[in-house]
Structure 1
Amino acid sequence: MSSSSEAAAEVTAVLRSLRGVWDEPTVDEFDHAMQAGWHARVDGASDELVLAAVLHDVGRSPLLPGPEPHDRIAREWLTPRFGARVGWLAGAHVAAKRFLADTESGYAAGLSETSVDSLAHQGGAGGVDAAWTTHPWWPDAVRLRRYDDAAKVVGAPGMEIGEIGILAGRIADRSAVERRSRGVPW
């Protein structure tokens, strides 16, 4: 990614491709993304966590290759564009659901029917390797999971796509500077 305007355009295109993509019966993936970002912003999350919250399900976009699990696609697509933290956080949202379902009383009972079904396909509650839960970004992955769970309400507030484009450009620029300082070519 060579410029903030390219990052903003790419994110905007991918987000728009989520309009009409349904995982939950209540909101499409576009509205889900906007609501997840709104929850992160209201919670005072860092820019990187807000962007990861918005783009955690980007692997469901028809513009991105499959058929790998959507969390892996998100991580692999986001990391070179926005840095390791954004990619890792988005990629950890399924592990965080499995962890919470195993460790937090009542968590699984509060999941939507679709999320309960996907949990079963994702390996069920538990089985989360310590490499996840001991990672320094793990607490933010759990926060992202909660934004994800809350972002399934018809008509709920969400971020504006233009705001997300600006945020994506800012993070892409910071990520590029960081990569150059470490001598990483991409």
Structure 2
Amino acid sequence: MELRSVEELMDLLHACRGVHEPTELPGSRRRPGGGTSQGDPVDLHDHALQTAALLRRGHPSDKELQVAGLVHDIGHVLRPGDDAGHAAHAADAVRPLLGERVSGLVRLHIAAGRYLAAASPGRGPAPRGPLAPAGPGGAMTPGELAAFEHDPLAEDAVTLRQADDAGRVPGLYAGDMEDWRTLLELVAERSARLGATD
């Protein structure tokens, strides 16, 4: 599925309410003491808001990074049950609307988890499943680390992943989804302008 309008994307983001990541999603992490029988202690709706809010606070001028934080997990709703492919599904869906950079950051957020697992073992919150923290394929090899570090989006993908890991606080209010509509429209308009000049 490719998203062609902010309205479609907003509907999808609202549909994330009550949807949880599975407990054993490779590459995912959560804070100790959290969790439910459904998986992650925070539903995808609140997780998106928390992740985007953290990125807004830490990187107020990087609108595309904030938007990537908001949409990075929509693949769980687009293709329920395909947890290993959720990043690719989300990236493919948002590319026509939000552009290459947002899509690239969304696609790399799982690889960034593998990178952090290899580069900083024992970092952050406790792992969520038996395959965490490395994710699909395990922690990166030295060759994979070097290749990842040469990706022009690597640093921002790591920033997104760190916010992804931190944006899982049960009960934390991080605003309303509608508060992000204007920013989504701005990023979509910019992407359309850039696409028109290519």
Q: Do both proteins adopt the same fold according to a TM-score greater than 0.5, normalized to the shorter chain?
A: yes
> What is the root-mean-square deviation in Å for CA atoms of aligned residues?
2.1
Residues 114 and 134, structure 2, Cα contact 8 Å, conserved in 1: no
Structure 2-normalised TM-score?
A: 0.79
1:117 and 2:131 aligned: yes
Residues 40 and 147, structure 1, Cα contact 8 Å, conserved in 2: yes
Match of 2:166 among 150, 160, 165: 150
Q: Give the helix-richer structure, 1 or 2.
A: 1
CA positional deviation for 1:115:
5.7
Any unmatched runs of 5+ in structure 1?
Answer: 1-5
Deviation per CA, 1:35-92, whole angstroms, max 9, x where unpaired? 000100110241100000111111011x458746101111111111111000000110
Residues 49 and 144, structure 1, Cα contact 8 Å, conserved in 2: yes
Any unmatched runs of 5+ in structure 2?
Answer: 22-38
Residues 118 and 134, structure 2, Cα contact 8 Å, conserved in 1: no
Pick which of 128-137 and 22-31 moved more: 128-137
For the residue of structure 1 that corresponds to 2:131, the secondary structure is helix
Q: 1:118 to 1:33 in 2, by over 3 A?
A: same
> Identity across aligned pairs (percent)?
33
Counterparts of 1:81 and 1:122, CA distance in 2: 28
Counterparts of 2:129 and 2:9, CA distance in 1: 25
Counterparts of 1:52 and 1:90, CA distance in 2: 6
For the residue of structure 2 that corresponds to 1:57, the secondary structure is coil
Pick which of 115-124 and 46-55 moved more: 115-124
Counterparts of 1:95 and 1:121, CA distance in 2: 8
Q: How does 1:28-43 map to 2 (within 5 A)?
A: 28-43=43-58
1:76 and 2:92 aligned: yes
Residues 7 and 168, structure 1, Cα contact 8 Å, conserved in 2: no
Residue 20 of structure 1 corresponds to 18
Equivalent residue letter for 1:178: L
Q: 1:106 to 1:65 in 2, by over 3 A?
A: closer
1:100 and 2:98 aligned: no
Residues 19 and 45, structure 2, Cα contact 8 Å, conserved in 1: yes
Pick which of 86-95 and 97-106 moved more: 97-106
Number of aligned positions between the proteins: 174
Counterparts of 1:25 and 1:167, CA distance in 2: 27
Equivalent residue letter for 1:56: H
Structure 1-normalised TM-score?
A: 0.84
Residues 79 and 86, structure 2, Cα contact 8 Å, conserved in 1: no
Pick which of 7-16 and 111-120 moved more: 111-120
